[in-house]
């Protein structure tokens, strides 16, 4: 009888093990651009925010269309002109079992804007806000002026554990020591340049993801990502190369998901130095920085053939841009449209600005961050050369590029003169790019953290700040649109090129909910 009982126990254990193995669902995702750190406040960059949203939650979350939904806060309301109240979700625990409380929110808002070495700070979303604890599950966030976008702003800040985060620096998150959040997945390992592994948080407060274990593989090369998918090495890839999309659509073993994003690809120009390091006269000598002149910046915009970039470089998988956000997003201007291709007009403007003979310029850009980024930079360089601006193109990995573009020059100033870059609105409306890219750089107040051209216009600043304090939606829309018209239409503070259209490709039977914020998230992957 003892033997039979033992055999029965062993068989039962084996059956349980088999059932467990059958229920385990592993997912492997091929990433075009991996995060620069596991620290959720190190770098306000889509690959970081996308991946770290698996480990950490914000008070307010965003769905695939960037609509606001409850997260670690179950409700929020303005209780007076300058105070928002957030009721926090009770019973939530961090991955180490410690409870989530208001103290963690206060600690997070103190840390997020000032992470050492950050290439692009979260200060635009936290500074000017005082977080006050009412009780363990109630906070008030106070501002000097009315601030209707508070829920949008807090949706960008991932909450960390005060216990694990006190004294922790970015390497502590990269090692996993401090990577303890409340999100749907837990940290397993991070091997930069190779893989990032998470496992499902079985104690997650919300709906549990379908996948028990997720491996994110870093595959920078587009053809290599496609090859990995076709070979079965990954289950889904992001940033499917535009040249392969039509072919992959016809493959019965694959499933594609597409959607336009709010990311604008644009050019940023040095607008603050009398002598710019990568601008030279035709003979290679020094010259006064011509990019300081709005006429020269407009000439550059006229020289860019956006239709050619969309059709030839992007294989038709993009939408040409004339402002910060595409149709359908709050705060865009109905008066702005893409600058028509006009090389003759560009040359006339250069002559009017006193540089009719042209000059030499270097365009810097990443080669592993945006769809076809290096090819776009090359195309722009060729177009500028045609109007007499002899352009050299230098691209580099984003891990090097963003640091140099943000603070690579003496005194922590932007290093480059002319750059290709992109911006996706984290809040889903126009104040995010306006205050990040075009408001005068002001570290103390958190404005302009990604204003790498140092565009500055007091009138634009006033309109942005007034918009941020305007409760009436229609009036705020008008203020944001007017700020955009001045900053781009009049000043050419940046030169928009196009909006990205994103394509995810997956094995047949696997689907992805395309997101306007471009994020690739395991909890958006599902089986049919």
CATH of the domain at 184: 3.40.190.10
Domain presence at residue 88? yes
Last residue of a domain, one of 188, 218, 248: 218
Q: Rounded distance, CA 5 to CA 3, Å?
A: 5
Domain boundary among 218, 247, 268: 218
Q: Dihedral through CA 40, CA 41, CA 46, CA 52, nearest 10? A: 0
Residues 355 and 426 in one domain: yes
- Let me know whether 192 and 292 are in one domain: no
161 and 272 both lie in a single domain = no
Residue 108 falls inside a structural domain: yes
CB 224 within 8 A of CB 290: no
8 A C-beta contact, residue 462 and residue 313: no
Give the mean model confidence (pLDDT) for residues 359-364. Answer: 98
In a shared domain, residues 273 and 396: yes
Count how many domains the chain has: 2
pLDDT at 17: 40
Domain limit, last residue, from 156, 186, 218:
218
Same domain for 488 and 410: yes
- Are residue 275 and residue 414 in the same domain, yes or no? yes
Look up the domain containing 209 and give its range: 28-218
In a domain, 198, yes or no: yes
In angstroms, the CA 387 to CA 472 distance is: 45
CA angle 105, 110, 115 (to 5 degrees): 120
Q: What is the pLDDT averaged over residues 178-202?
A: 97
Residue 297 lies in a domain: yes
Q: Is 484 in the same domain as 375?
A: yes
Same-domain status, 361 and 456? yes
Between the alpha carbon of residue 346 and those of residues 283, 339, 499, the distances in Å are 21, 11, 23
With pLDDT > 70 as the criterion, what percentage of the chain qualifies? 96
Average pLDDT over residues 210-219: 97
| pLDDT of residue 287 exceeding 50 | yes
Higher pLDDT, residue 12 or 84:
84
Q: How does DSSP classify residue 264?
A: E
Tell me how crowded residue 524 is: count the other CB atoms within 10 A of its CB: 18
**Within a domain: 396:** yes
The answer to whether 271 and 453 are in contact (CB under 8 A) is yes
The distance from CA 92 to its chain's CA centroid, rounded to whole angstroms, is 27
Q: Are residues 189 and 282 in the same domain?
A: no
Q: Is residue 510 part of a domain?
A: no
**194 and 282 housed in the same domain:** no
* Pair 376, 436 in one domain: yes
pLDDT band for position 23 (50/70/90)?
low
Quote the pTM value. Answer: 0.82
User: How far is residue 336's CA from residue 100's CA, in Å, rounded to a whole number?
Assistant: 46
Three-class HEC string of 294-329: HHHHHHHHHHCCHHHHHHHHCCCCEEECCCCCCCCC
Ordered DSSP codes for 399-429? HHHHHHHHH-SGGG----SEEEEEEE-TTSB
CATH number at residue 432: 3.10.105.10
Residue 132 covered by a domain: yes
State whether 307 and 187 are in the same domain. no
pLDDT in tens, 468-516: 999 999 999 999 999 999 999 999 999 999 999 999 999 999 999 999 9
Is the residue at 9 inside a domain?
A: no
């Amino acid at each position: 009888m003892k033997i039979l009982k033992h055999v029965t126990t062993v068989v039962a254990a084996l059956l349980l093990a088999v059932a467990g193995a059958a229920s385990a669902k592993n997912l492997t995702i091929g990433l075009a651009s991996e995060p620069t750190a596991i620290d959720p406040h190190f770098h306000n960059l889509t690959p970081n925010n996308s991946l770290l949203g698996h480990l950490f939650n914000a008070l307010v979350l965003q769905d695939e269309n960037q609509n606001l939904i409850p997260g670690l806060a179950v409700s929020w309301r303005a209780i007076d002109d300058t105070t928002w109240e957030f009721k926090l979700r009770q019973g939530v625990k961090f991955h180490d079992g410690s409870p989530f409380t208001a103290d963690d929110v206060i600690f997070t808002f103190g840390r997020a804007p000032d992470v050492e070495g950050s290439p692009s700070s979260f200060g635009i979303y936290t500074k000017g806000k005082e977080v006050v604890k009412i009780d363990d599950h109630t906070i008030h966030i106070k501002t000097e002026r009315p601030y209707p976008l508070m829920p949008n702003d807090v949706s960008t800040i991932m909450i960390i554990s005060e216990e694990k985060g006190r004294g922790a620096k970015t390497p502590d998150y990269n090692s996993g020591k401090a990577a303890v959040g409340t999100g749907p997945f837990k940290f397993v390992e991070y091997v930069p340049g190779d893989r990032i592994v998470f496992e499902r948080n079985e104690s997650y407060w919300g709906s549990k993801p379908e996948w028990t274990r997720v491996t994110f593989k870093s595959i920078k090369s587009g053809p290599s990502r496609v090859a990995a998918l076709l070979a079965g090495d990954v289950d889904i890839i992001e940033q499917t190369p535009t040249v392969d999309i039509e072919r992959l659509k016809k493959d019965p073993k694959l499933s594609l998901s597409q959607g336009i994003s709010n990311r604008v690809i644009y050019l940023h120009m040095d607008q603050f130095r009398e002598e710019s390091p990568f601008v030279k006269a035709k003979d290679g000598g020094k010259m006064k920085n011509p990019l300081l002149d709005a006429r020269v910046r407009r000439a550059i915009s006229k020289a860019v053939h956006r239709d050619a970039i969309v059709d030839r470089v992007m294989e038709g998988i993009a939408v040409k841009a004339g402002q910060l956000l595409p149709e359908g997003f709050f705060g865009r201007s109905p008066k702005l449209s893409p600058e028509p291709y006009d090389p003759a007009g560009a040359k006339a403007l250069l002559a009017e600005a006193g540089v009719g003979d042209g000059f030499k310029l270097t365009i810097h850009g990443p080669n592993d961050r945006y769809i076809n980024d290096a090819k776009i930079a090359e195309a722009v360089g060729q177009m500028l050369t045609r109007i007499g601006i002899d352009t050299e193109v230098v691209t580099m990995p984003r891990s090097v590029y963003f640091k140099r573009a943000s603070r690579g020059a003496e005194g922590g100033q932007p290093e480059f003169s002319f750059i290709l870059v992109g911006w996706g609105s984290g809040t889903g409306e126009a104040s995010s790019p306006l205050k990040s890219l075009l408001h005068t750089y002001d570290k103390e107040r958190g404005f302009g953290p990604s204003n790498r051209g140092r565009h500055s216009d007091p009138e634009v600043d006033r309109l942005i700040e007034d918009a941020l304090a305007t409760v009436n939606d229609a009036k705020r829309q008008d203020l944001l649109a007017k700020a955009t018209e001045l900053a781009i239409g009049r000043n050419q503070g940046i030169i928009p090129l196009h909006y990205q259209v994103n394509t995810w490709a997956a094995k047949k039977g696997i689907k992805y909910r395309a997101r306007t914020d471009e994020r690739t998230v395991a909890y958006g992957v599902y089986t049919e």
